[in-house]
Structure formats: C-alpha cells, structure tokens
Structure 1
Amino acid sequence: MARGLRRPGRRLVVAVLAVVVAGAGLGLYWFQPWKLWQDETVDEALPAVRPASSSPPAASASASATGPAPSPSVAAGPRTLAGGELISHEHSTSGTVGLVRLADGSHVVRLENLDTSNGPDLRVWLTDAPVREGRAGWHLFDDGEYVSLGKLKGNKGSQNYVVPDDVDLSRYTSVSIWCDRFDVSFGAAELARV
C-alpha cells in the first residue's frame, strides 16, 4: 500500500514542476527582463526627403482641380514645426522630440538623444493626450486618439519615424514612448509649436 501512495505523489510533483517550468517560460517571454540590461543604439541622420519605402504624398482635391501642386523646393530643407523635451514616466527617459516637415512636404517625428530603458513591444505614438508628470501621466495616451508610428528602433540615439500622409497633425499634441504590452508610457513630450 505504501508503494501505491508513492506513485500519485510522484505524479503530483512532476505535474507541479511542469507547471512551474511552463509558468517561468511564459513569464520570461512576457516580461523579457534581460532587456533592462541590453541597450540598442540607433543613430539616424535627419532625412532631406521621405524615405523611399514610404508612400508618396497624396494630392489635395483643390490641387487636382487646378493642376498638380508645385513641389516644395529641395533647397528649403527640413523645418521643425513643433517640439519638446521628453519627461520620464514608467522608466527614466530623456531626449527631445521634433515634428519635422521635410523638403518634399512629408513629415517625420524625430527623437534626438533618446535615452530610455529597453522593453518589450515599445512603440512611438503621436497622441492627443496631455503630458503629465509622475504616475498620473503613465496611462493617459491610449485614452484618446493616437497614431502608432512603429516600433521603437532603439532605446538610445536619434531616430526618425514617418508620419502617414493622412494624419491631421493639428489633432495631435504629444509623443509617447509607449509599451504596448503593458499599456504604459515610458516617457512623453508635449509638442509645442515653434
């Protein structure tokens, strides 16, 4: 009889160990804690015109009625329309953000001297939310309107994020480094017009 009791006990131990190993694996995948010690630096120059992989600017209805709109002069170069300093939210974050109109009329959000923690599923969001300091600002950015400009290329450096042509820039007032997995802002900047 003692022998029969040992078997169910072993099965229980094996089942518990299997659940613990599976839970640890899932936890490691979900939280990716090693990213806290890994930095990825990306330093891009400010483009003079939209990168070739992006779609061409859409012509306005009024321009098509009177012929093609004149193209902006390439000599005009990029122009910063709005910008601000990043503040820390969930993780220590610093650097500057600029909304830049390129010579061809397209727009990019430019992060300069970015320094934040690496994390799972980080995105760059253009939002209509106000930027608040401290914990009050961590979860605001998905409450209103936002446009995801793509995955964060690196947690350090200077980078460009193409703004789609159909985005009405007058509706967005801030940029957030957003962790989509945990619905929290790592850092954000108010876009003040210049």
Structure 2
Amino acid sequence: MTFKTFFAAAAIAVSSLFAVVLPASADTHNAARAFDVAEKPLDGSWSIETREDGAYIVLSDDFRTSNAPDLKIFLSQQDVNDVRDNTATNNAVLVSKLDSTSGAQEYKLPADFSTDAYTSVLIHCEQFSVFWGGANL
C-alpha cells in the first residue's frame, strides 16, 4: 500500500467518525446554528427538526447559558434584533420552560407550527422580564 493510498483510506475512516445521522423520519428545517443575539451568556447551537410526531426545537450538546429562575423558550413574530426585555413575549407563543441551562435538549413545538407564522426563537426570563437571547428562523 502506498503512502497516498494509506492516507486517503485513513482520511475516509476518520471523516466517517464525525458523520451526523438523523433518523429517517427527521427533516431539519435549518442546520444547527448559533444564536444571533445574546443579551446574557448564550452559547451553543439550535435547530428545528420535523419528525413523524411533530416539529421540535433542538438545542445542541454544547448549549450553555447563565442561570435564572424562569427561563423559557418562545416562538415570536418579532425579528430577534427588535426584541427588548419588556417586548419579548409580545406576539410570542410559549414553547416550554427551559429544562436545563446546559446540554442537549429538545422541545416539541405546537401542532400548528409553521416557519411562515414565526420569525424568531427566543429565550426569556419571564419572571423578571429579561430577554436572554435568540435567533431568527
């Protein structure tokens, strides 16, 4: 085996270790991406997946944010760049209370969810009306 052949085989073997496989029933609306706006520490990526039983917001393994007593995820009709603390829940639909401030998580979206009906996904501390951050869909 020549060095070139060995190197090519090794590169293929290593690249297959990093392949991401979605279940056959999953359709990702958008590739995992970072949050566009972070008023508070907000790291990691998110995506929206459609599965046989509905659509989900999926937060990545590397998702991290600071702690707060009442962090929730909303779908909003506002552009994320226009959101302020006191307007974050205007024209927004509550998806769920955030299960954790770190790690992979997924939240089922309302049955009538359509990317045409919403503009952004937001994380917001509802108790103190503090906008954490978000991204446009």
Q: Does TM-score exceed 0.5, indicating one fold?
A: yes
The count of aligned residue pairs is: 113
Aligned residues: percent identity? 28
Structure 1 gap segments, 5+ residues each: 1-46, 49-75
Q: Does the 8 Å CA contact 2:73/2:95 hold for their aligned counterparts? A: yes
Give 1:181's aligned residue.
Answer: 127
Partner amino acid, structure 2, of 1:92: P
CA distance in 1, matches of 2:107, 2:57: 5
CA distance in 1, matches of 2:83, 2:78: 9
Q: Could you say what secondary structure the match of 2:96 adopts? A: strand
Hey, which bits of structure 1, 4+ residues long, moved more than 6 A? none
CA-based RMSD:
2.2
Give 1:142's aligned residue.
Answer: 89
- Higher normalized helix content (fraction of residues): 1
Alignment of 1:11-160 (within 5 A): 76-82=24-30, 84-86=33-35, 87-89=37-39, 91-102=40-51, 104=52, 106-112=54-60, 113-132=62-81, 137-139=83-85, 140-143=87-90, 145-160=91-106
Question: Following TM superposition, by how much is the alpha carbon of 1:160 offset from its aligned partner in structure 2, in angstroms?
Answer: 0.3
Residues 114-162 of structure 1: CA distance to partner in whole angstroms, max 9, x if unpaired?
A: 1111101111111111112xxx64324223x211111100001111000
Q: Could you say what secondary structure the match of 2:116 adopts? A: helix
CA distance in 2, matches of 1:189, 1:95: 12
CA distance in 1, matches of 2:96, 2:123: 10
Question: Following TM superposition, by how much is the alpha carbon of 1:105 offset from its aligned partner in structure 2, in angstroms?
Answer: 5.1
Whose Rg is larger? 1
CA distance in 2, matches of 1:167, 1:80: 14
- Higher normalized strand content (fraction of residues): 2
CA distance in 2, matches of 1:168, 1:100: 12
Partner amino acid, structure 1, of 2:106: N
Q: TM-score, normalised by structure 2?
A: 0.72
Partner amino acid, structure 2, of 1:85: A
CA distance in 1, matches of 2:53, 2:70: 30
CA distance in 2, matches of 1:177, 1:108: 15
Partner amino acid, structure 2, of 1:82: N
Question: Following TM superposition, by how much is the alpha carbon of 1:169 offset from its aligned partner in structure 2, in angstroms?
Answer: 3.5
Partner amino acid, structure 1, of 2:130: V
